[in-house]
Structure 1
Amino acid sequence: MLDYRYKTFLVLADQLNYTKAAKLLALSQPAVTKHIQYLEEHLQVKLFQYEDRTLKLTQKGKYLKDQVTVLNREISEILDTLSEREEIPSFMIGVSRTIGEYYIPEHTCLFCEEKRVKINLMVENSERLLQLLKDGKIDYALLSGPVQSNDLTAVSFYQDEVTLACSPRHHLANQTLSLNDLKHERVLLREEGAGLSDAIDYQLTEAKQSLHQLTRINRIGNIQLLKNYIKNNDGVGFLYHISMLNELKTGELATITLSDFKVHQPFYLVYPKQAKSKKEVDCMLEIFSPSDPTGCEDNLPT
């Protein structure tokens, strides 16, 4: 910062009148005189002189005015730059439909993190998200199904149970049976490529079972529509437990327990191998791991 007396000098150099300069600076005229005298003594040059009773700048005074004006502008630019808010990093996160519609709104404090990062969300099924991730169109994917790729790293941040849902009016409601007992029932599933479908297929393969033993399967690519059909008693269907909590509370849906088929599926934060720093990944995990939305402000870094 320039000495405050240089501001007095610049105003007087513009006005060439002590009375006007003092008024603009909200100073007394003697104070303006003292500021100029200090500068002249400090610099050991004469800055002003009177010619025919008119105040004028000396040649050294003109030079100093030009240089101080430039310096003052540069200092202002520096201060403006220093005071600018640091750019907030922005991330495009692809999320599966279950996570986007049911997990994030209820279990994370997403926008409490605006002070630290900017999060943009894209909702697609898992198959599409994996392709977008490999193509570099998204920074991370949050997937609600198994991840099988040597090019990607998957870190679990939550786990949910796959539940067989039905209408409370369904004849199998609240019963325990085997998967084979469903062979004549209409079973509603998410579309192929959805994380839920992948999780079911993976578990069936592990158990040396197959969907082929179920003879009446219909696939529906929308979670809410699938639930509506189940509520209308048009069939039974597999859903993540998190996506049917409200309907279970209100009694709109009931469950069927399968003694020989249980799926506990992790939800994953997925990103290209060796493409992200540990600090960034830890930040994403902190944002998307389950939290109490009412207390998320307390968790923000200061």
Structure 2
Amino acid sequence: MLDLKLDTFLTLCETRNYTKTATLLNITQPAVTQHIKYLEGYYQTKLLYYDEKRRLHLTEHGKLLRAYAQTIKADAQIIERKLKNPPDQPDELKLGTLTTTGESLVPHMVAEYLRRYPEKKVSMYLGEADALQKQLKAGRIQFCIIDTYCPPLEFESRELFEAHTVCVCSPEHPLAGKTVDFRELNDYRLIFRENDTNSYRNLMQILHAHNQDINNFRSYVEIGTINTVQKMVMENIGISFIYRFVVQEKLDSGALSQIHIRNFSSHSMFNFVWMKNSFFEPANLQFLDVCNEVLDSSVFHRQDSLPD
């Protein structure tokens, strides 16, 4: 259970407003002020300050305390779940991952982990990076696998693998296996995941880097999951930009073909992330070891780390 004063501080860090914090915690505004003053007195440092526009900000020491309190709060939630379970119940590992990796690569990692530790239980949550970071802070998951920046003051991370994006199509598509200029793709339908996803943001970065937009294409289809995107491409409905590791097996089997684009390169680093200074770091590193072994094994072959 997190100390009430630290909980007040964390809520104030989110709202940046004393009145909103009081409302959310169902306490009075003077109580919020008292809690913050107590923490500043205890640590003998200023935690927050107002700028000239009366906007509330964290000091450097405030940021440090926030990171500490977030980890304490997250670990407390995990400990609470473990203590409420019967002593003879197996440990449950809760992890999060992007939908892209959750539907392709991470199940291999979970399977190998359970082969090695058959007494364990695993819960895997799929979502977008920002939502997974929030779940980490709330203690709903112990770690996650994502491809976005994680502030080192709040999170511990390890580089897992580098993923390259490729343009794919059906083997029956006119551009299958060909090398083309980027603008030649505009004559065809583009298929991609829905807005507000990391996959969509990655696509926008690729297109904008080549002075392109989705409206430059003949038409487009916006779909919910990466598996549905692949199926639509295999039906020869259009083309898509997808991480190589997601489609490697289909490229190898001939179910999909690659369109080679001149002067094109796009890659992202996937990271293994958990809360800074978490009590559960040894357990997280145990799963990380399995991840690295799977990536080095025949399941993955590190093919995705190779340039096109």
Deviation at 1:271, TM superposition (A): 1.9
Correspondence for 2:131 among 125, 128, 131 = 128
Deviation at 1:259, TM superposition (A): 2.0
Q: Which amino acid aligns with 2:194?
A: E
- Pair 1:262-2:265 in alignment: yes
User: Which ranges of structure 2 fall in alignment gaps of 5 or more residues?
Assistant: 1-86, 300-308
Deviation at 1:88, TM superposition (A): 5.0
Instruction: Decide whether the 8 Å contact of 1:146 with 1:198 is kept in 2.
Output: no
2:92 aligned residue: 90
Distance 1:293 1:228, change over 3 A: closer
Instruction: Decide whether the 8 Å contact of 1:163 with 1:238 is kept in 2.
Output: yes
What is the correspondence of 1:167-206 to structure 2 with a 5 Å cutoff?
167-202=170-205
2:160 aligned residue: 157
User: Which ranges of structure 1 fall in alignment gaps of 5 or more residues?
Assistant: 1-84, 295-302
Deviation at 1:257, TM superposition (A): 1.2
Q: Work out the CA distance in 2 between the residues paired with 1:208 and 1:175.
A: 19
Instruction: Decide whether the 8 Å contact of 1:160 with 1:265 is kept in 2.
Output: yes
Deviation at 1:124, TM superposition (A): 2.5
* SS, match of residue 117 in structure 2: helix
Deviation at 1:120, TM superposition (A): 1.9
- Pair 1:119-2:129 in alignment: no
Correspondence for 1:248 among 246, 251, 255 = 251
Instruction: Decide whether the 8 Å contact of 1:166 with 1:233 is kept in 2.
Output: yes
Distance 1:277 1:86, change over 3 A: same
Instruction: Decide whether the 8 Å contact of 2:97 with 2:127 is kept in 1.
Output: yes
Distance 1:185 1:131, change over 3 A: farther
Instruction: Decide whether the 8 Å contact of 1:200 with 1:263 is kept in 2.
Output: no
Distance 1:180 1:153, change over 3 A: farther
Distance 1:202 1:177, change over 3 A: same
Instruction: Decide whether the 8 Å contact of 1:196 with 1:240 is kept in 2.
Output: no
2:213 aligned residue: 211
* SS, match of residue 172 in structure 1: coil
Q: Work out the CA distance in 2 between the residues paired with 1:214 and 1:293.
A: 40
TM norm structure 1: 0.59
Q: Work out the CA distance in 1 between the residues paired with 2:134 and 2:205.
A: 20
* SS, match of residue 189 in structure 1: strand
Correspondence for 1:226 among 224, 229, 233 = 229
Percent identical residues? 20
Decide which structure has the larger Cα Rg and report it: 1
* SS, match of residue 248 in structure 2: helix
Instruction: Decide whether the 8 Å contact of 1:147 with 1:154 is kept in 2.
Output: no
Deviation at 1:122, TM superposition (A): 1.7
Aligned length: 209
